[in-house]
Amino acid sequence: MPIKRGLFIIILGSFMILVSGCGKNEAPISYQTQIMPIFQTNCMECHNQTGPGFQKSGLSLETHQSLLKGTKFGPVIKPGDSLSSTLVLLIEGKADPSINMPHGKRTALIAKQITLIKNWIDQGAKNN
């Protein structure tokens, strides 16, 4: 028995809605419990009020507010848009090697940490 055109469109539309949600990170990422610990372990040594990273760039990662303020050159995060966020370019090693982060001989962030930060930014970089 052939499926009627209207029913077929409804089934196809429902299927496409279900598939479009697959693979997206829907669970909210917490700044306090997931993102801040990455910064504390890998970045805070330099990017605090007295550290060399802060002295050179003006970027402090001590608070959510200071992170969103960015550097003396401007913001490093564009909430909702990780692709346009300078922080992502720096931690992915896509900037000039002299300014990639973490700087110097410090260990680079692992892919899971970078993805978490990118997803948090894409979710709006909330202070949650």
| DSSP output for 51-111 | SHHHHHH----SSHHHHHH-BTTB-S--TT-GGG-HHHHHHTT-S-TTT-SS-TTSPPPPH
Is there a domain that residue 7 lies in?
no
Is there a domain that residue 73 lies in?
yes
Task: Give the residue with greater pLDDT, 21 vs 27.
Answer: 27
pLDDT of 25 strictly over 80: no
The percentage of the chain sitting over the pLDDT mark of 90, rounded to a whole number, equals: 70
Is there a domain that residue 1 lies in?
no
Residue 71 pairs in a beta bridge with: 74
Is there a domain that residue 5 lies in?
no
Q: Which tokens in the block code for residue 69? A: 């303020």
Q: Which tokens in the block code for residue 123? A: 């979710």
Q: DSSP code of 50? A: T
pTM: 0.78
Is there a domain that residue 128 lies in?
no
**pLDDT-based confidence at residue 105 (cuts at 50, 70, 90):** confident
Give the tens place of pLDDT for each residue, 42-82: 999 999 999 999 999 999 999 999 999 999 999 999 999 99
pLDDT of residue 3: 57
**pLDDT-based confidence at residue 18 (cuts at 50, 70, 90):** very low
pLDDT of 24 strictly over 60: no
- What total number of domains does the chain contain? 1
Question: Rounded CA gap, 103 and 105, in Å?
Answer: 7
Judge contact between 61 and 39, C-beta under 8 A: yes
Domain membership of residue 117 as a residue range: 29-122
Is there a domain that residue 71 lies in?
yes
Is there a domain that residue 109 lies in?
yes
Is there a domain that residue 22 lies in?
no
